């Protein structure tokens, strides 16, 4: 949204956009009522992260209409938990729509060019955790982070993880995805002094209770520096990793500067 607002303000300043036309453009701020949805165009300016489309429960036509409304204010739209029907609807809105079936993500527009240099490393315990891990990795890439992947390094074969300790230490933020007993985040946090965002998955046998066992294990981690998101919430982990990464770049500055980190051009405001 900030890019669209800047365009309006610069248009009025240089005379290419009339005041009346500018008012018409601004009428949909801070949200646009589509009848079935109120699209929050102000969120990027307010928080540094634009609203995304959570696809389950929405008709393909509704998903497409939300995307069209969002693209009028931001160059990049992310749709999570997108199936093939959602992908087809979004491809009609933008033929360049990218679809990641394993991550269940659809992306319209370019990845953001935020001023982040630190790497977000996404690690997962097993191959069965890949859908959630890829949701985190692709989301982090779309939000402008350099991303590395370290997959199938669970505690059943701990040597697989220890062989990559230098990569763990080189990352700025670690997203660690695991199902079953959910032990991997505790191990990683005990090895390196980096923020660890733990993501429990619903992978496991009966007593894993759809990921509840992993969630509780991660919440009870004895290693300091572990934060936990909801079961299978790779998107939420990537969003948190992005905010942490950006705060390093801005030196922990105020909200207005934090929001600027999400601008597609990556520029910071002058003071």
243 with 264: CB under 8 angstroms?
no
DSSP string, 25-52: HHTT-SEEE-SS-EEETTHHHHHSS---
How much is the pLDDT for 44? 75
The CATH number of residue 126's host domain is: 3.40.50.1970
**Integer Cα distance of 187 and 178 in angstroms:** 11
**Which residue, 87, 110, 133, sits at the end of a domain?**
110
Nearest of 77, 89, 5, 81 to residue 39 by alpha carbon: 77
In a domain, 10, yes or no: yes
How much is the pLDDT for 72? 83
The residue segments making up the domain with residue 223 are 120-247
Beta bridge partners of 32: 39
123 with 153: CB under 8 angstroms?
yes
In a domain, 173, yes or no: yes
How much is the pLDDT for 1? 44
How much is the pLDDT for 36? 78
Q: Provide the number of structural domains found in the chain.
A: 2
Over its length of 271 residues, how does the chain's per-residue pLDDT go in tens digits? 445 667 777 888 888 888 777 766 666 567 766 777 777 777 777 777 888 999 999 999 999 999 998 888 888 999 999 999 999 999 999 999 999 999 999 999 998 877 667 899 999 999 999 999 999 999 999 999 999 999 999 999 988 998 999 999 999 999 999 999 999 999 999 999 999 999 999 999 999 999 999 999 999 999 999 999 999 999 999 999 999 998 876 665 433 334 344 444 444 433 3
In a domain, 195, yes or no: yes
Let me know whether 128 and 241 are in one domain. Answer: yes
């Amino acid at each position: 949204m900030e890019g669209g607002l800047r365009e309006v303000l610069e248009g009025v300043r240089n005379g290419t956009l009339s005041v009346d036309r500018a008012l018409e453009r601004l009428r949909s701020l801070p949200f646009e009522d589509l009848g079935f949805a109120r699209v929050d165009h102000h969120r990027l300016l307010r928080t540094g992260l634009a609203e995304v489309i959570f696809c389950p429960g929405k008709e393909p036509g509704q998903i497409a209409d939300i995307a069209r409304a969002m693209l009028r204010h931001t160059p990049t739209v992310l749709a999570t938990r997108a199936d093939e029907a959602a992908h087809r609807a979004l491809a009609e809105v933008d033929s360049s729509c990218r679809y990641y079936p394993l991550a269940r993500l659809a992306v319209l527009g370019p990845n953001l060019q935020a001023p982040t240099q630190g790497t977000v490393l996404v690690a997962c315990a097993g191959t069965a955790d890949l859908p959630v891990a890829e949701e985190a990795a692709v989301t982090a890439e779309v939000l402008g982070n350099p991303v590395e992947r370290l997959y199938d390094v669970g505690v059943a074969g701990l040597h697989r993880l220890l062989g990559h300790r230098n990569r763990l230490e080189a990352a700025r933020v670690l997203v660690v995805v695991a199902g079953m007993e959910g032990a991997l985040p505790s191990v990683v946090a005990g090895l390196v002094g980096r923020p660890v965002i733990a993501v429990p998955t619903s992978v496991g046998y009966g007593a894993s209770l759809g990921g509840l066992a992993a969630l509780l294990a991660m919440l009870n981690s004895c290693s300091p520096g572990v934060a936990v998101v909801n079961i299978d919430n790779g998107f939420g982990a990537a969003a948190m990793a992005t905010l942490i990464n950006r705060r390093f770049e801005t030196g922990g500055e105020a909200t207005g500067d934090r929001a600027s980190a999400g601008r597609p051009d990556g520029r910071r405001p002058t003071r």
